[in-house]
Amino acid sequence: METAGSGTIGSPPVPSINVARCSGCGRCVAACPLKIITLETVGHRKNAVLLCEERCACCGRCVENCPVGAFDW
């Protein structure tokens, strides 16, 4: 990978979580090979939380397995 300015060129994006869309089903937790996604209770709802962006392999399994589209690149 090479750097340009303050960013790195060619680094894969880490998926983001739209907590408003998250249904708390846990499919992303089960799909993550590194087990860095967990469900946390926020108010009266469970939402997915990415625990460690630095460890994310950017494999996209969370994006592919989310039935409500809460994960996005």
**pLDDT (tens digit, 9 = 90+) per residue, 52-63?**
889 999 999 999
- Please report whether residue 7 resides in a domain: no
Other residues' Cβ atoms within 10 Å of the Cβ of residue 37: 23
Q: What are the phi and psi torsion angles at 12 (to 5°)?
A: -70, 150
Predicted TM-score (pTM) of the model is 0.79
The domain of 29 spans 13-72
**pLDDT (tens digit, 9 = 90+) per residue, 15-48?**
999 999 999 999 999 999 999 999 999 888 899 9
Q: What is the CATH number of the domain that holds 41?
A: 3.30.70.20
Answer whether 72's CB lies under 8 Å from 16's CB: yes
Question: What's the pLDDT band for 4 if we cut at 50, 70, 90?
Answer: low
Percentage of residues of the chain with pLDDT beyond 70: 86
> How many separate domains does the chain show?
1
- Please report whether residue 20 resides in a domain: yes
- For residue 2, pLDDT beyond 70: no
